[in-house]
Amino acid sequence: MRRTNPISCSAAYAGGEPVAEARHLTRRFLTEIQDVHRVPVSERALDVVELVVSELVTNTRKYAPGPSRLTLEVREGRMEVMVWDSNPNPPAILPPDPLRIGQQGLAIVMAVTHAFGIQREPSGKRITASIALTDD
């Protein structure tokens, strides 16, 4: 029987070291969906989801004042990584440049995800990235 309800978790960050906390939450959640919910997750997907979370949460800390929120949701064999922050301005998505130091995060995220989107919200924006959990 195919699961129709998403499995999700989320956390809010207002300071401290959100990137490390977000990575730990992500790893625990991926382990739980495998062990408890029997959702298959490839080693590649584990690494990609953790990388995407790191890049997106790092950007919230660097470019958005105030709180942020990470939501991870599994639906139909994909992990949706959603990061909300209080800055309503969309991030600058720069073309890849091997000579540029830094500011490569969103290009990396877009290269390793199935889908990527930015949505303005009443008090900020939400970035969503979708990653396949298996290597089909």
Please write the tens of the pLDDT for every residue from 44-80: 999 999 999 999 999 999 888 789 999 999 999 999 9
Could you tell me if 59 and 110 are in contact, meaning their C-beta atoms sit under 8 angstroms apart?
Answer: no
Three-class SS state of 49:
helix
CA distance 80 to 72: 6
3-state helix, strand, coil in the chain (%, to 5): 35, 30, 35
Q: Domains in the chain, start-ordered, CATH in brackets?
A: 7-132 (3.30.565.10)
Q: pLDDT (tens digit, 9 = 90+) per residue, 81-125?
A: 999 999 999 988 777 777 878 777 888 899 999 999 999 999 999
Query: What's the gap between Cα 48 and its chain centre?
Result: 9
Q: pLDDT (tens digit, 9 = 90+) per residue, 7-36?
A: 999 999 987 788 999 999 999 999 999 999
Could you tell me if 24 and 57 are in contact, meaning their C-beta atoms sit under 8 angstroms apart?
Answer: no
